[in-house]
């Protein structure tokens, strides 16, 4: 999927205004200076991901508020280091930033625990929702696909330090990320378990799983789990174990 044109226009204007400041500051210095404050760094993030990272209202950009800091940090590094290059604006914002700089940003958004919007209304056949629920909660042994819950937690709110939650994400975003893994334009540290899983699923399976996830109500306690009570079903290079 492609990002909406209006996003490209609005964010390009914002980045042109902020880019000179971001690049002028030495990335090795993570602490605020009179011209480089945390608020200034976060302004481009919030222009697309919403205030406090709670996600914008257009239903495409992901919520980053409350995600595990390790996951957010990994994704910022993936954009910076070329593993996720399908979003040029994200690459532009982080390409010259140091690890310490990125960690500070990740820690800020990980600490934002703000309410979720109501779940999306998705018009798909009942059979598709049933298939989606099966994949998310039980997986498909014949395809070699583990349950989403086996890695992302029984409540699907993620697991610290490095596994993101799946509930509360827009369906368009979920579909786009599965497509990026299938097409080889999104990568993680090897072994890239999500890329392997995405390539084993049919487009219909991906659509079913994203539909079911998008209709789930986020639990009252939306914080990521502190640990899994079982080993991961696959070895993932991006997950600290």
Q: Spell 133-148 as b/e; 16+ CB within 10 A means b.
A: bbbbeebeeeeebbbb
Question: Given this model, what pLDDT does residue 41 score?
Answer: 79
Top-confidence residue, 20 or 56: 56
What angle, 0 to 180 degrees and rounded to 10, lies between the N-to-C axes of helices 99-110 and 38-49?
60
Among residues 38, 102, 50, 104, the alpha carbon closest in space to that of 75 is found at: 102
Quote the CA–CA distance of 53 and 65 in Å, as a whole number.
5
Contact 61, 73 (CB under 8 A): no
User: Average pLDDT, stretch 204-212?
Assistant: 98
Could you give the percent of the chain with pLDDT greater than 70? Answer: 83
pLDDT tens for each residue of 189-198: 899 999 999 9
pLDDT digits (tens, 9 = 90+) for 130-154: 999 999 999 999 999 999 999 999 9
Per-residue exposure over 70-104, b if at least 16 CB sit within 10 Å of its own CB, e if not? bbbbbbbbbbbeebbebbebbbbbbeebeeebbbb
CA dist 142 → 138, 191, 212 (Å): 12, 21, 21
Residues 101, 26: Cα–Cα separation, whole Å: 10
For position 160, what pLDDT does the model report? 95
pLDDT at 32: 56
C-alpha dihedral over 155, 124, 50, 19, to 10 degrees?
110
Q: How many Å apart are CA 72 and CA 76, to the nearest integer? A: 6
DSSP bridge pairs for 238: none
Spatial distance between the Cα atoms of 81 and 163, rounded to a whole number of angstroms? 20
pLDDT tens sequence across 197-207:
999 999 999 99
Q: How confident is the model at residue 55 (pLDDT cuts 50, 70, 90)?
A: confident
Q: Is residue 27 over pLDDT 60?
A: no
Chain center to CA of 31: 25
User: What are the structural domains, with CATH classification, of the chain?
Assistant: 5-110 (1.10.760.10), 126-214 (1.10.760.10)
d(CA 92, CA 15): 9
pLDDT tens, 87-104? 899 999 999 999 999 999
Q: Which of 3-7, 136-140, 218-222 shows the highest mean pLDDT?
A: 136-140
């Amino acid at each position: 999927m492609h990002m909406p044109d209006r996003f490209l226009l609005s964010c390009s204007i914002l980045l042109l205004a902020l880019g000179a400041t971001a690049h002028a500051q030495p990335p090795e210095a993570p602490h605020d200076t009179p011209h480089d404050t945390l608020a200034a760094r976060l302004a481009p993030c919030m222009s697309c991901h919403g205030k406090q990272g709670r996600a914008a209202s257009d239903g495409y950009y992901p919520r980053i508020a409350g995600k595990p800091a390790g996951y957010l940090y990994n994704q910022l590094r993936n954009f910076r280091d070329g593993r996720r290059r399908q979003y040029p604006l994200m690459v532009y914002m982080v390409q010259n930033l140091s690890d310490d700089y990125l960690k500070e940003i990740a820690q800020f958004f990980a600490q934002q625990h703000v309410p979720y919007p109501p779940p999306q209304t998705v018009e798909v056949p009942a059979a598709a929702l049933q298939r989606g629920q099966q994949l998310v909660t039980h997986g498909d042994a014949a395809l070699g696909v583990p349950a989403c819950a086996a890695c992302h937690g029984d409540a699907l709110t993620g697991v610290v330090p490095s596994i993101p939650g799946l509930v509360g994400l827009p369906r368009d975003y979920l579909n786009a990320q599965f497509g990026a893994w299938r097409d080889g334009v999104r990568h993680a540290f090897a072994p890239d378990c999500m890329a392997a899983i995405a390539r084993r699923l049919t487009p219909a399976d991906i659509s079913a799983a994203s539909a079911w996830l998008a209709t789930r109500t986020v639990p009252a306690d939306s914080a990521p789990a502190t640990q899994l009570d079982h080993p991961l079903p696959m070895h993932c290079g991006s997950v600290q174990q």
